[in-house]
Chain A
Amino acid sequence: MTDESVGTVYVAQGGDWDEIVRGQADRGDEKIVINMGPQHPSTHGVLRLILEMDGETVTSLRPAIGFLHTGIEKNMEYRTFAQGSTFVTRMDYVAPIFNEVAYCLAVEKLLDMKVPERADVIRVLFMELNRIASHLVAVGTGGMEIGALTMMTIGFREREMILDFFEAVCGTRMNHAYIRPGGVAIDLPDDGLPRLKGVIDWLHKHLWEYGAFCNENPIFKGRMKGVATLNLTQCMVYGASGPVLRAAGYPWDLRKSQPYCGYETYDFDVITWDTNDAYGRFRIRLAEMFESLKIVEQCYDRLEATTGQPVMVEDPKYALPGQLTVGADGQGNSNEHIKHIMGSSMEALIHHFKTVTEGFRVPAGQAYVAIESPKGELGCHVVSDGGTRPYRVHMRDPGFNHLQAAPAMCEGAMISDVVVAVASLDPVLGGVDR
Chain B
Amino acid sequence: MTEPNASDLAEVPAGTSAEQRVTRKGMWGQGSGDTSGYGGIVRSFERFPRTDRPYGSYFDEIVDRLHGLLPSVDLDHVVVAHDELTIFVPKADLLDVLIACRDDALLRFEVCVSVSGIHFPDLVGEELHAVYHLLSITHNRRVRLQVTCADADPHIPSAVPTYPMTDWHERETYDMFGIIFDGHPALTRILMPDDWEGFPQRKDYPLGGIPVEYKGAVVPPPDQRRSYS
Contacts and interface: CB of A to CB of B under 8 A. Distances in A.
Given A257-B140, A391-B118, A433-B191, A366 B113 contact: no
B18 interface: no
Contacts of A396: 113-114, 116, 133, 169
A10 interface: no
A64 B207 CA distance: 25
A267 B227 CA distance: 46
B191 A389 contact: no
Contact of A66 (B45, B84, B165, B192): B192
Nearest to A365: B81
A404 B133 contact: no
A367 B116 CA distance: 12
Contact of B142 (A252, A368, A386): A368
B131 to A, nearest CB: 7
B190 interface: yes
B222 A78 contact: yes
Interface residues on B, range: 35 or more
B114 to A, nearest CB: 4
Max chain A C-beta neighbours (<10 A), residue from B135, B140, B200: B135
Contacts of B222: 75, 78-79
Nearest to B47: A364
B223 interface: yes
Contacts of B70: none
Contact of B47 (A71, A236, A385, A434): A385
Interface in B20-53: 22, 24, 43, 45, 47
A261 interface: no
Given A74-B200, A74-B207, A396-B114, A109 B82 contact: yes
Contact of A74 (B164, B169, B201): B201
A391 B227 CA distance: 12
A238 interface: yes
Contacts of B225: 78
B86 A366 contact: yes
A266 to B, nearest CB: 19
Contacts of B214: none
Report, as a range, how many residues of chain A touch the other chain.
35 or more
B229 A386 contact: yes
B165 A238 contact: yes
Contacts, number: 120
B84 A69 contact: no
Given A78-B207, A396-B133, A387 B165 contact: no
Interface stretch (A174-182, A376-384, A411-419): A376-384
A112 B83 CA distance: 10
A307 interface: no
Contact of B84 (A75, A367, A386): A367
B84 A387 contact: no
Contact of A385 (B137, B201, B229): B229
A71 to B, nearest CB: 7
Interface in A47-85: 65-66, 69, 71, 73-75, 77-79
Interface in A242-269: 250, 252, 257-258
Nearest to A236: B110
Contact of B229 (A110, A365, A387): A387
Contacts of A109: 82-83
A159 to B, nearest CB: 29
Contacts of B114: 368, 379, 381, 394, 396
A301 interface: no
B22 A385 contact: yes
Given A379-B113, A396-B133, A389 B227 contact: yes
Interface string A386-422: 1111011010100011011000000000000000000
A241 B116 CA distance: 19
A415 to B, nearest CB: 23
A392 B128 CA distance: 13
A1 interface: no
Interface in A339-398: 358-359, 361, 364-368, 370, 377, 379, 381, 383, 385-389, 391-392, 394, 396
B118 A236 contact: no
Contacts of B124: none
B58 interface: no
Given A239-B163, A388-B228, A396-B113, A252 B118 contact: no
B55 interface: no
A365 B131 CA distance: 13
A237 interface: yes
A112 B82 CA distance: 7
B227 A387 contact: yes
Interface string B112-124: 1110111100000
B183 to A, nearest CB: 17
18 contacts: A66-B189, A66-B191, A69-B191, A73-B201, A75-B207, A78-B223, A78-B225, A237-B165, A361-B228, A364-B45, A364-B47, A366-B131, A379-B113, A385-B229, A391-B118, A396-B114, A401-B169, A404-B165
Interface of B: 22, 24, 43, 45, 47, 81-84, 86, 110-114, 116-119, 131, 133, 135, 137, 140, 142, 144, 163-165, 167-169, 172, 189-193, 200-201, 207, 222-223, 225, 227-229
Interface of A: 65-66, 69, 71, 73-75, 77-79, 109-110, 112, 236-239, 241, 250, 252, 257-258, 358-359, 361, 364-368, 370, 377, 379, 381, 383, 385-389, 391-392, 394, 396, 400-401, 403-404, 433-434
Nearest first, the 4 A-B pairs at minimum CB distance are: A387-B229, A239-B165, A396-B114, A394-B116
Given A370-B135, A381-B133, A394-B116, 15 more contacts: A69-B192, A75-B207, A78-B207, A78-B225, A238-B164, A239-B111, A241-B113, A366-B118, A377-B113, A381-B131, A385-B22, A385-B47, A387-B228, A396-B116, A396-B169
